[in-house]
Amino acid sequence: MLFDKGKLEKMTIRAFKPAANPDDPPQPSDLPADTYVVQVNPKSYSLNHLLNYTYLRAPGASAGEAVYNDSPPVNLSFEFLFDGTGVVPKPSEVGDIPVIGALVSIFSPDEYVVMDEIEKFNNLVYTYAGGQHRPRSLLLVWGPLTFPCVLSSVEYRYTLFKPDGSPLRAVAACSFCESVPDAERVRLENATSPDLTHLRDVRDGDTLPMLAYDIYGKPELYLEVARANNLVNFRRLRAASRVTFPPVKPPGKNGAKP
């Protein structure tokens, strides 16, 4: 596809479909209303890994042994921008290409309204879903980062306004908590699916790490899949192409491969 090498991969957040069967592995939704693509990628993000210990100390002792309790879920935090000034192009097929995206943004009839975008984002990540009796579970994807999660907090900071007080620019400070459904955890622990060869037809918005997570439960295996398919530009998959996911053998005893 023309200009592929000039495109920037945007952070995308997708909601999981409600599971018809609680034993089925979760699947990200393909509906446009269940997907949010950020206008501007974060400058950075933080992954917070914690370990909880209880410290056993005898009376009068200066130190004690740390006894492991548990490992809380990983937390992912970042900030991203909503910009309605027209300086930053809206997310689109060509909007991510420098210069061209800016020209398309100028002549586009659709105005980027900050409060409307915040409402779309809230509807996906924050709003209570009555059918599920909770806010929705999410899959956050950006390049090799594939993070199943739920929103734990979001704070909006409004920094620029129209004369009537309407926000023209806002920054969202978000924190997401790792969330792996029980059905997915059981599937990963049993490792019954990754030992088979899978064929997957690529759809718009699919990334190799996301597909590796779906097949293997391990997004970091995307490099092995790229090698198996002789993919050079593996960060930009072509829609309607087919990708082969080779079997992955579980490690044997003492970490040795069978």
Identify the structural domains of the chain with CATH numbers, from first to last.
1-52+64-181 (no CATH), 191-248 (3.10.350)
**Which has the higher per-residue pLDDT, 240 or 116?**
116
Instruction: Tell me how far apart the alpha carbons of residues 233 and 135 are, in angstroms, rounded to a whole number.
Output: 35
**Which has the higher per-residue pLDDT, 231 or 49?**
49
How far is Cα of residue 53 from the mean position of the Cα atoms in its chain? 30
245-253 mean pLDDT: 62
pTM of this structure = 0.66
Query: What is the predicted pLDDT for the residue at 157?
Result: 98
Percentage of the chain with pLDDT > 70?
76
Does residue 219 carry a pLDDT above 90?
A: no
152-162 mean pLDDT: 96
Q: Is 66 helix (H, G, I), strand (E, B) or coil?
A: strand
**Which has the higher per-residue pLDDT, 168 or 133?**
168
Phi, psi of 94 (to 5 degrees): -115, 0
Q: Do you know the residue count of the chain?
A: 258
Token pair 């034993």 is found at 23
